[in-house]
Amino acid sequence: MSEDEQQESNPKLVFGDLGLKQSIIVELETPKAVVTKEGKYGEWQLWFGKVENVTVHKGRGNDEKLVPNYTGKVIFFPSEKLIPQLEKAANGNEGVKVKITKDETKMSSGKKYTKYVVEKLSEGKPSDSSLLPTESRLINEAKELINDGHNITEDIFIKASQEPQYENKISEIRAKELFLTLK
């Protein structure tokens, strides 16, 4: 699906719609932007997320309509200052839930400007795209065993991660993180 088709099919979440001190909870589908491009006003990023009971924009230009109480997948274009906060909260994981609050800060000149504050609500799970080949192999083999009816506990998974076929490339701490992807 092209970028234009994505924008047409998924409603757009606009953080500017939030009132001062209002918050919104977004589940980040990916740990980073799906698309980054240079535009008329500088670089922009397209992100995917999931929301519950929020007002979103559907359509483009003159056909754009507000849809209240929407639940589902959205696209959004975070501000330049919001992007690093989202990436830090995601920390390479997908499915991370964040609370984004619109706030206002006063500069020394007395002028006010809008800022967004991100609070991480959940850890999500490691992104498949961030997995090393040995990590992917371990997860895939564990999933096959689970599908065959075997009970794979965290202890068994960690012990298996230390086997020679994984070339000592998976630490016990990383194995615990990877175990979460099986759930």
Given a cut of 70, whether residue 129 has pLDDT beyond it is no
* Reported confidence tier of residue 84, pLDDT bands at 50, 70, 90: very high
Domains assigned to the chain:
3-126 (2.40.50), 131-182 (no CATH)
Q: What is d(CA 124, CA 106) in angstroms, rounded to the nearest whole number?
A: 34
With a cut of 70, say whether residue 6 has pLDDT above it: no
Calculate helix-pair angle for 133-147, 154-161, nearest 10 degrees: 140
Closest CA to 27 of 73, 67, 69: 73
pLDDT at 4: 47
With 0.85 as the threshold, say if the pTM is over it: no
> Which class for 86: exposed (0-12), middle (13-18), buried (19 or more C-beta within 10 A)?
buried
Distance set, CA 178 to CA 15, 68, 85, 138, 142 (Å): 33, 37, 24, 9, 11
Confidence of residue 128 (pLDDT cuts 50, 70, 90): low
Indicate whether 5 pLDDT > 70: no
Name residues whose C-beta falls within 8 Å of residue 75's C-beta, 6 or more positions apart in sequence: 6, 7, 10, 11, 12, 13, 46, 47, 48, 49
pLDDT digits (tens, 9 = 90+) for 14-64: 999 999 999 999 999 988 888 888 888 888 999 999 999 999 999 888 888
